[in-house]
Amino acid sequence: MKRLFFLFSLMVLFCADLSSQSVYESFFTHPGLLHSAADLDRMKQNVMMNKEPWASAWKDFLKSKWLVDKYVPRPLETVGRGVGSVGQDNIQNDAAAAYYNAIAWYISGNNKYARKSVNILNAWSHKLKKINGKDAVLCSAIYGYKLANAAEILRFSYADWSGKDIDLFKTMLTNVFYPVIKDFAPFANGNWDAACITTMMSIAVFCDDRVMFDKAVNYYYYGTGNGSITNYIVNSTGQGQESGRDQPHAHLGISFLALAAETGYHQGLDMYGAHDNLLLKAFEYTSKYNLGMDVPFEAYADKTGKYNHKVISSKDRRKILTGSEMVFNHYKNRMGTEAPFTEKTARNARPETMSFDMPGAGTLLFSNFAKGEASVSSVPKPMMPAGLYTSYSNEAVTINWARSLNADSYTLWRTHVKTGEETLVARELKTTTYTDKTVKNGIIYSYKIKAQNVSGESPVSLASVICAGLPKNWETLDIGESFKNTGVQYDGQLFRIEASGADLRGNADRYRYLFTQFNGNGSVTVRFVPQVASQFVKMGVMLRETTTDNAKYASLMIMPLKGADIEMPQWYCNTVVRRTTGDSSIVAVESKPMNESFVSWGRLVNPCWLRLVRNNNIVTAFVSYDGKTWTETGKTEVLLKKKVLAGIVVCSGLMGVNTVACFDSVNIEELK
C-alpha cells in the first residue's frame, strides 16, 4: 500500500493567486528608466538656453565617436563576453551608440540621431538569438540596460519607430537578455548582481512587466548574493564588498545599485533611501578614499566564500570614475542631503565622460536644480508600491516593503489563500514594516499594500505569499550547533532554507535540516531551484535516524570539488552515508561530474531533481533534469531503523556565513 505526503495541496490556489497578478495594469510611468520626461525636457531646455553646466557638457557630448553619421551597427546572432564568446566589442559599442543617439535626438530634435538609434536597436532585435560566454551575465546586464534606456526614450518621443519593431525589440529583451539574468549572479562579486538588478528593472518597465519589476526590487533589498544592498555595502561606514578588491570595481558595484535606485525613483520608490541612505554612505566612503583620505576597513567574508579581503585595496586608487554626478544630484540637489566627498568627485570629473559600463555623461544627463530652485506643483499621489517581502518567525509574519515616494501612510491587507477570506490588518501605517501577530500556524497567507497621501491612493501592490510556519508534520533545526539567522521559510510552493555549517562529513555534522517522519520503504524527491551563493555549499535529500550530530544517515548531495580555477568548481551528485553512529561519513558512491544540463562555467544554473529511494537496507540515488527521465547515480547499503527522518539538508560550507538554497516539488512517498 502506498501512502503519499504531498506538500502542495494548496498549489492550485497559490498559482491562481500569482496568475491573477498578471491581469494588473502595469502602472508604470513612461518614459521612466534613468530619465523621466521632465529630466529630458530639462536637458533640452538648458542646452537650448545655453545654461551651464549643460551647455558645456553638450558640446563635449557631441564630440563622441558614437554620434558620427557613418556609425554602423554590428549585430551578431550569438554575442557574449569573456572566455568562450565573441562580439563583446560589437555589443558594448552598439549599446552605447543607441543610448547616446537617443539622448542626442531628444535634446537636439535632429531626426538623424533618432534614425541612428532605431537602426541600431532594430539591427540587434532582428538578429540576436543568444548571449554566451563565461561572463554572459555581465554581457546581458551591462549592455541590456543601455539598450532598454535608448528604446524607452525613442518609444515615447519618436513616432517613426514602428510598432512591429518595438514588439520585436521587446521579444529580444524578454527572450534573449532576461533568461541570462533571471537568477541574478549570486556566485560572483556583487557588481554582477547589481548590474542584473538594473537591467531586470529596465526590461520590466519597458515591457510593462510588474512581476519582473517586483522581483528585481526585492533582490535589491533582500537578495542572497553579494549584490543586494546590505550584502554589497557591508557596514554602516559604507564599506563595500569589493573595497578590498580594487577601487574601480568597488565604485562600479555601488554605481549599478544607484542606477537601480534611479530607475526606482522614476517609478515612485525611494530605493536611494534604503537603510538610512546606505547607498550614500557607500559613495561617500569610496569617494573619500579615492580622494586620498583614510577610511576604516573591517575584514569581510563574502557570500560566495571566494572573495574575502582583510585590507582595503589601493589598486587604481584616485582613478576618475563615472557615476558620481547622478548620485550627488539625487542626494544634494533633489533631497537636500549633504554629500561632500561625492560632490567633490563629481566636480573633479566635469564634464563627466561617456562610458561603456555606466551611462557616463552625467554632467549633461543628471545635473539637476538645487532643492527649492525648481517650481513645485501639487504633490502627486503615490505610485504602485513594490518590494513587498514576507517572512515568518516567533509565531508572527513580518512584512517589509520599499518606501513609496510621497506616501504619508500605508494600508495592509491579508488574504487566507485557501479560503480567499480577506482581512484588513492595519491602516495609517507610517513605517515600511509591520509584524502581524494574528496569524495561525500552518496557514498560507498573501499580503498586499497600498500607499496614500492627501492627493489620493496608489494602486494596490502585487501580493507576497508566506506560510505561517511549516506545513503540518514538518520540522527544522540546526544539526550540531545553533547558527545565527538560519531557518526555513515556506510560501506554499517553495522552501527557502537559510543555512550555515561547516560540513556533513566527519563524525559530527554541522548544517540545517528540514524533515518529517518517514516509516519503512519509499522515496524522497525534491527539486533544487538555482541559484545559490556559496560555492562551498553541500545540499540534498537525506534519510537520518535522529537529529544528534553523529547519527546514521544516507543522503544524495549536490557538492562541489574545487579545481585549479576557484571560479569553476566541478559539481557532483554523490551518495554520502554514515553507516555507524559516531563514525565518520563517507562518499559511498561518487557520481560523474554534473553535465551542462545543470552546470555552466562551474555554476549551478538549471534546476536539478534529486530522488533517494529506500528498499529495506538498500538506498538508491537518482537525478533528473526534467523531473521525468531519471538517471541512477548510486546504490549502497545502510542499515537504518525502520522509522527515520526524511528531508532536505543544506550546509553553507562557510562557518559564520549563511547561504540560502531553495527547493520545490517536494514529495515524500512511503511504501507499505
Per-residue pLDDT of 189-237, as tens digits, reads 999 999 999 999 999 999 999 999 999 999 999 999 999 999 999 999 9
In the numeric block, the cell 551542462 is attached to 596
pLDDT at residue 13 is higher than 50: no
pLDDT tens digits, one per residue of 144-194: 999 999 999 999 999 999 999 999 999 999 999 999 999 999 999 999 999
- Report the chain's mean pLDDT, rounded to a whole number: 93
Residue 30 has which C-alpha cell? 513612461
- % of the chain with per-residue pLDDT over 90: 90
Do the Cβ atoms of 343 and 328 come closer than 8 Å?
Answer: yes
Residue 177: DSSP 8-state:
I
pLDDT of residue 285: 98
Give residue 502's pLDDT: 83
Name the band, by pLDDT with cuts 50, 70 and 90, for residue 1: very low
pLDDT digit string, tens, across residues 396-435: 999 999 999 999 999 999 999 999 999 999 999 999 999 9
For the chain, how many helices (H) and strands (E)? Answer: 16, 27
pLDDT value at 21 more than 50: no
pLDDT tens-digit map of 350-378: 999 998 899 999 999 999 988 776 555 67
Tell me what pLDDT residue 369 has: 85
CA distance 232 to 303: 10
Would you give the end-to-end CA distance of the chain in angstroms? 5
Instruction: Please give the average per-residue pLDDT across 249-262, as a whole number.
Output: 98
- Provide the pLDDT for residue 8: 39
- What span, in angstroms and rounded, lies between the C-alpha atoms of 48 and 563? 59
Strand-pair category, 130-132 with 78-80: parallel
Residue matched to cell numbers 509565531: 395
Res. 659 pLDDT band, cuts 50 70 90? very high
pLDDT digits (tens, 9 = 90+) for 43-98: 999 999 999 999 999 999 999 999 999 999 999 999 999 999 999 999 999 999 99
Q: Quick one: pLDDT at residue 319?
A: 81
Cell of residue 372, nine digits: 527649492
Q: What is the pTM of this model?
A: 0.95
Residue 374: predicted pLDDT? 58
Tell me, what's the pLDDT at 566? Answer: 85
pLDDT score at 376: 54
Question: Is residue 432 within 8 Å of 388, Cβ to Cβ?
Answer: no
Beta carbons within 8 Å of 108's beta carbon, 6+ residues apart: none
The closest alpha carbon to 584, from 627, 552, 559, 614, belongs to 552
pLDDT value, residue 507 = 86
What per-residue confidence (pLDDT) applies to 335? 95
* DSSP 8-state secondary structure symbol assigned to residue 334: I
Q: Is residue 285 helix, strand or coil?
A: helix
Q: Is the torsion defined by CA of 117, 122, 125, 127 positive or negative?
A: negative
Residue partners of 157: CB distance under 8 A and separation at least 6: 31, 40, 105, 106, 114
The average pLDDT across 309-329 equals 93
Q: Which pLDDT does position 563 carry in this prediction?
A: 74
In which element (H, E) is residue 124 found? Answer: helix 111-127
**Predicted pLDDT of residue 373:** 66
pLDDT at position 377 is: 61
C-alpha cell at position 193 = 548582481
| CB of 325 closer than 8 Å to CB of 360 | no
